[in-house]
């Protein structure tokens, strides 16, 4: 049953991706990107990664779409140049794609207990988290306590990215321009 849902969601993902590539209207493409994120979130739910799904749905489908639409409002929503189809580029893309698919054969299967991700610190977290941290959501205990330093780095990245965008777009420049025009 879960496999059936997987196939449906992956099929929709493929269809959305194909539609994004073919579409000329960038507004529609931005909305489809949101749909793509929502489908990915649904796939994460199927994989029992609800925290990741939550983030994907809120950030990928929500805020990113709004920011993309905001960008389009500033830049215009039409594809200008029509890129001609070149067999060489198609070949390169197909070759890289085939390589990537080939590489997935080396990856551990879903839920494999011997996978490297499950062999190092994960068993210790699962064993000790209820005793050491004592909160029911183990994802939060890893994210906020065991790896609190990484999360501090992530928050700093968000802050720095915000500062970067604000310094590019300029939070204050609007007022003097408005007054002059």
Partner 1 sequence: MLRVVAKFIVPLILLFALYVQFHGELGPGGGFQAGVIFGAAFILYALVFGVDTARRVAPPTLIRNLAAVGVLLYALVGVVAMLMGGNYLDYGVLSDDPLAGQHLGIIVIELGVGITVAAVMIALFYAFAGYTPEPADETDTERAP
Check binding of 106 to partner 1 (CB under 8 A): no
Torsion angle, alpha carbons of 112, 114, 116, 121, to 10? 110
Check binding of 16 to partner 1 (CB under 8 A): no
For partner 1, the closer of residues 107 and 128 by Cβ is: 128
State in angstroms the smallest separation of the CB of 61 from partner 1: 10
Which residues ranging from 27 to 66 are in contact with partner 1 (CB under 8 A)? 50-51, 53-55, 58-59, 62-63, 66
State in angstroms the smallest separation of the CB of 43 from partner 1: 16
Check binding of 169 to partner 1 (CB under 8 A): yes
Residues found near partner 1 in the complex (CB under 8 A) = 50-51, 53-55, 58-59, 62-63, 66-67, 70-71, 73-74, 132-137, 139-141, 143-145, 148-149, 151-152, 155-156, 158-159, 161-163, 165-166, 169-171, 173-174, 176-178, 180
């Amino acid at each position: 049953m879960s496999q059936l849902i997987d196939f449906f969601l992956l099929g929709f993902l493929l269809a959305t991706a194909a539609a994004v590539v073919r579409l000329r209207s960038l507004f529609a493409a931005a909305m489809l990107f949101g749909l793509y994120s929502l489908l990915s979130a649904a796939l994460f739910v199927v994989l029992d990664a609800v925290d990741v799904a939550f983030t994907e749905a809120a950030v990928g489908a929500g805020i990113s779409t709004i920011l993309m639409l905001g960008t389009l409002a500033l830049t215009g929503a039409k594809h200008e140049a029509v890129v001609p189809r070149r067999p060489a580029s198609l070949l390169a893309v197909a070759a890289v794609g085939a390589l990537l698919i080939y590489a997935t054969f080396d990856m551990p299967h879903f839920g494999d207990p011997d996978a490297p991700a499950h062999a190092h610190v994960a068993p210790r977290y699962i064993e000790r988290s209820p005793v050491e941290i004592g909160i029911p959501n183990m994802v939060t205990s890893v994210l906020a306590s065991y790896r609190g330093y990484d999360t501090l780095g992530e928050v700093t990245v968000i802050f720095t990215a915000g500062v970067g965008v604000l310094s590019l777009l300029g939070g204050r420049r609007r007022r003097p321009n408005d007054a002059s025009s």
